[in-house]
Amino acid sequence: MHSQQLIDRLTNGTATIGVVGLGYVGLPLVLRYCEKGYKTIGFDVDARKVEKLARAESYIEHISGKDIAAANDAGFEATTDMARIDEVDAIILCVPTPLNKYREPDLTYVLNTTEAIVPHMRAGQVVSLESTTWPGTTDEELKPRIEKSGLKVGEEVFLVYSPEREDPGNEKFETATIPKIVGGVTETCHAVGQALYGGVIDTVVPVSSTKVAELTKLLENIHRAVNIGLVNEMKIVADRMDIDIHEVIRAAATKPFGFVPYYPGPGLGGHCIPIDPFYLTWKAREFGLHTRFIELAGEVNSSMPDFVVNKLALALNGKHKSIAGSKILVLGIAYKPNVDDMRESPSVEIMEKLRYLGADIHYSDPHIPVFPETREHDFDLSSVDLTAQSLAGFDAVVLTTDHKAFDYDLILEHAALILDTRGKFDRNHEKVFPA
């Protein structure tokens, strides 16, 4: 009875949607539900985000204040009050799943959020976990916590796993057009989950269980991590042989079958690719398995910031200079081009290493005007405007994130030395040193 009523409300658009965690995943989802006419409530522990949303102010670059204002006009509310969970029909969890200091999965945000919502849950609700995690989390961690309240999963409340697939800065896809994987704890949960997303996502892809959905998300990102690890290792080999790896990749990509181009860089960034492999390798140990291939790719990718620093030392040495005392400009501190997202950015790790070695560090990033306060990094810096005069004042510039907004001709003309980790410059130019 509860399931059919809920499915009907989700299908006809009368359900109230709750999204917990209003970051890069949760906020776009909120806007999509509002766009399709659903009443939506957003929950976040950060009161500053809630206040900004009430003023229709965006804290994510690719989301406009105009879009937030439209959601507010449609009835969207943001709150820090978890007691309001009983007002919603669907609870979508979009909270972080980082690693702890031992590089092990940290489910603190997921479990604390679950504990916070359970006292306010009622019959007739669906909970969907979107956070990346190890296979078994939904069934083994969320289900028993919810059922401690006395609510029976699959009969009174419903539980699904549907991994996020947001790609900030990708102009080809948006929330609505990215196919959505959905797996339920029971068949009834599964049906409710399909109804939850079917009204707002163009294509819903059903899978047989939450574990399949959880492993699907890990496979997607581990696939990328392993292939990036391969091409980063190929870059090291090509560098030693004085071969342009980017030319090699462009040539290989002309093959119309059997090859997918991946591109090397200064390391892995973002909240998914550097982290997700550890969720699977950790869980695999429970089954007596050692995921050597995945871990090797992780080692290669983790070594790339050191490779960049060593290449810079060699380039400066050729100018009779050392890293210590040199004034270095890092170009781009976002983890990938054309976004303002710094999570796990290898650029910042490179900055840390260069500062430790005595460099006078600065950065330029049109998407991040001021270096934000973070728990991991402490830089009291603002983005340097790129001019002929400012560029000429640095001993070296290090291109780590190839934003479209950079004037590469200006950089090439006025920089004294360019360390290029992205293949944007002609490697044969006397100023350019590939890394």
pLDDT beyond 80 at 420: yes
Instruction: Given the residues 34, 94, 189, 272, select the one marked as catalytic.
Output: 272
Give the tens place of pLDDT for each residue, 377-411. Answer: 889 999 999 999 999 999 999 999 999 999 999 99
- On whether the CB atoms of residues 293 and 226 are closer than 8 A, the answer is yes
pLDDT beyond 70 at 91: yes
| Three-class SS state of 204 | strand
CA distances from 6 to 39, 115, 181 (A): 15, 23, 20
User: Quick one: pLDDT at residue 103?
Assistant: 81
pLDDT band, very low/low/confident/very high, at 204 (cuts 50, 70, 90): very high
User: Quick one: pLDDT at residue 273?
Assistant: 80
pLDDT beyond 80 at 169: no
Q: Mean pLDDT in the chain? A: 95
Residues of the chain with pLDDT > 70: what percent? Answer: 100
What value, to the nearest 5°, has the Cα angle with vertex 368 and ends 307 and 165? 80
User: Quick one: pLDDT at residue 283?
Assistant: 92
- On whether the CB atoms of residues 329 and 296 are closer than 8 A, the answer is no
Residues of the chain with pLDDT > 90: what percent? Answer: 91
User: What would the two tokens of residue 323 be?
Assistant: 């890293």
Give the tens place of pLDDT for each residue, 124-168. Answer: 999 999 999 999 999 999 999 999 999 999 999 999 999 999 887
User: Quick one: pLDDT at residue 217?
Assistant: 96
User: Quick one: pLDDT at residue 101?
Assistant: 81
User: Quick one: pLDDT at residue 113?
Assistant: 97
Q: Is 94 a catalytic residue?
A: no
Q: Which of 50, 19, 345, 2 is nearest to 164 (CA)?
A: 19
pLDDT band, very low/low/confident/very high, at 247 (cuts 50, 70, 90): very high
Give the tens place of pLDDT for each residue, 296-305. Answer: 999 999 999 9
Distance CA 392, CA 188 (A): 65
Q: Write down all domains in the chain, each with its CATH number in brackets.
A: 2-214 (3.40.50.720), 267-434 (3.40.50.720)
Distance CA 410, CA 395 (A): 16
The predicted model gives 51-58 an average pLDDT of 96
User: What would the two tokens of residue 128 be?
Assistant: 């969907």
Name the pairing type of β-strands 360-364 and 77-79.
Answer: unpaired
Backbone angles phi, psi at 12, to 5 degrees: -90, 0
User: Quick one: pLDDT at residue 395?
Assistant: 98
> What string of DSSP letters covers 84-121?
GGGG-SEEEE-----B-TTS-B--HHHHHHHHHHGGG-
Residue 121, sorted as left (phi over 0), alpha (psi -120 to 50) or beta, turns out to be beta
Q: Which of 221, 220, 245, 252 is nearest to 231 (CA)?
A: 245
The predicted model gives 346-369 an average pLDDT of 97
What value, to the nearest 5°, has the Cα angle with vertex 341 and ends 193 and 400? 135
- On whether the CB atoms of residues 238 and 310 are closer than 8 A, the answer is no
Distance CA 408, CA 418 (A): 11
CA distances from 420 to 50, 73, 164, 269, 303 (A): 40, 46, 32, 17, 17
User: What would the two tokens of residue 270 be?
Assistant: 């973002």
Q: Which residues pair with 382 in a beta bridge?
A: 370
User: Quick one: pLDDT at residue 1?
Assistant: 58
> What string of DSSP letters covers 278-340?
HHHHHHHHTTT---HHHHHHHHHHHHHHHHHHHHHHHHHHTTT--STT-EEEEE--SSSTT--
